[in-house]
Copies of this chain bind each other. A is one copy, B any other.
């Protein structure tokens, strides 16, 4: 434990404890001379302000909850990781909370979130804004990919899935592809709407036709199963679109190794996300890229806006782009 307190530093520096507190507080009024004395004493004693006490005293909090779903590879890989780093760099304390299928609303979360939060970043469809809002004492929660109608009291970062999907269908159209299979996200997820429904709309605009579809759960295995089921029900289409890369890779492996098909000759399989593996030559998976970096940037921008201006501003929204990567 860091047992050295501000009092000890104050004594050693020959100043009051307030002075110590002030030298460690941004834009507080301390003379350069005092600050120097304090800093010196602090260095000699190895003092570091105790964030817990500070938080309690000031009524603020630098803790940011990252609320995500349990299966890390089901959502965007590395999102949490990059967020973690970015928040830390801002002096905020990221605190990752995973909710799983057992998530039963506010109660569960309240059990886990035992501390006042600066804000929260929510990347879990199942979580309602109202479950989180009470804990965020500085800024409203930031909800990711919540294309559903949402509480007005939250900030939102959305992904413009539609553009990437449009690019993809144009590409397929130009290649003279006519028929499509689809492996969707879970019906309850926001990705179901933005990706699967988005695809249907895009198809409607071209002369391509959806032949059949299956619901997946974003896992590699569900991609495998989906391909099996789809191919047991009818002839091969020109292409298969999966709502994320993991399922696309599962489908591709099953197409190749179980059904002996050649990809993309016999069927073109397309994913969504552009995870690192998508570019590996074993898969060389065409996909719709959504940049984790863009998302993190958007989030950090919102946080900085909330820090700068008073938080009475109304909802802040950001949309990050997508683009189709053909991988010829």
Contact = CB atoms under 8 A, between A and B. Distances in A.
Interface stretch (A95-103, A192-200, A234-242): A95-103
A114 B51 contact: yes
B137 A49 contact: no
Contacts of A26: none
Per assembly, the copies of the chain total: 2
A149 to B, nearest CB: 25
A171 interface: no
B281 A116 contact: no
Given A1-B134, A281-B253, A283-B282, A50 B96 contact: no
Contact of A134 (B2, B88, B112, B283): B2
B81 A48 contact: no
Interface residues of A, number: 50
B281 A220 contact: no
A2 B116 contact: yes
Contacts of A59: 1
Interface in A99-127: 100, 110, 112, 114-116
A84 interface: yes
Interface in A12-70: 46, 48-53, 55-56, 59, 61-62, 70
Interface string A214-229: 0000001000000000
A148 interface: no
A115 B281 contact: no
Nearest to A249: B280
Contacts of A48: 110, 114
